[in-house]
Structure 1
Amino acid sequence: MQIELNGKPHPLPDGATLEQLIAALELTGRAVAVAVNRQVVPAQQWAARALVETDKVDVVRAIGGG
């Protein structure tokens, strides 16, 4: 299947979860916020949130600064 990730097409296996996407992006354990179809999904729900073809996912990394 193909989802939209940060505005660009991104291929994923059918039935992939949000947790699997974050792992594939090598962002596990990093400070990130994730929204699916403009709805923020808490990290505790990533493993249970299956993605589907029409999903639009936005991943934002926290960047420290001063």
Structure 2
Amino acid sequence: MNVFKVSFSHAWDSWHDFTFVTCRSKTEAIQKALEEMDIPEVLNEKLIITVVMENQLGKRKAGK
């Protein structure tokens, strides 16, 4: 499992927000974040979405 930081910003305004989600892939991270976040409904909405992997959970380094 990975920890992703998913950020949203409105293309025409300064609104932006982010959330941290734990999942397997970037696609799953975006879907999970969309369910959790309250994104304003705007006519002709243009959103910028960024996804960054922050951490990997449950992985051990070899030899430990």
* TM-score in same-fold range (> 0.5): no
Higher strand share: 2
Larger Rg: 1 or 2? 2
